[in-house]
Amino acid sequence: MASERPLVAVLDYGSGNVHSAVKALEKAGADVRLTRDRALVAEADGLLVPGVGAFSAVMEQLESIRGGELIERRLAGGRAVLGICVGMQVMFERGIERGVDTEGLGEWPGVVRPLDAPVIPHMGWSSLEVGQGSRLFAGLESERFYFVHSYAAQEWTLDVQPPFPIPSVTWSTHGSRFIAAVENGPLTATQFHPEKSGDAGIAVLRNWLGTLVA
């Protein structure tokens, strides 16, 4: 039924800050389960991959539950995945933090590197350069969102050819310009924290939920 709340699995792999993400998704209109149950993760309408802390630690935690395999299987079947903060960063090929070079999930080409900015970490509210064709930020183009990070992907090199739709890439700036969000088929990700971004963040999650039932 159209009135049913979409079922979203929040991947429970040991990352912190998952409960605020669960509450934000519930407020946005989802039926949310914090889980690592492989069948539920596979069958849910959407999968949220949270992430805080170091790139290498998040990758180690994901590998401990074969999280990369779960994410890849969903994407191969065209099923929606949303990554947040380091949950976005690990979608790229590699992350370099404090001299440690760690292999990511490789869903997108590129390297997550330190921000080139006078003040690190980037902590606070920033505006966005919303990508063309964005559904995630529909009606939210002038809003500001809450970031907490010292690293980011700063180049977008994925070459998408027809008939596949061109990804919508949204940018922000803190010292240097960096990728703030990507909408690429079933894979969506934000560098900022929707769950810490007030009403605008809830609206972003609501827009994402809308794509699950479209």
Catalytic residues: 85, 193, 195
Do the beta carbons of residue 95 and residue 110 sit within 8 Å? Answer: no
The DSSP 8-state label assigned to residue 166 in this structure reads P
| Residues 6 or more apart whose Cβ sits within 8 Å of residue 57 | none
Q: SS in 3 state form for 110-130?
A: EEEEECCCCCCCEEEEEECEC
Do the beta carbons of residue 74 and residue 81 sit within 8 Å? Answer: yes
- Alpha-carbon distance of 9 to 115, in angstroms, equals 31
Burial of 148 (0-12, 13-18, 19+ CB in 10 A): middle
Q: Please state the φ and ψ torsions of residue 61, each to the nearest 5 degrees.
A: -65, -40
- Alpha-carbon distance of 130 to 144, in angstroms, equals 11
| Residues 6 or more apart whose Cβ sits within 8 Å of residue 210 | 135
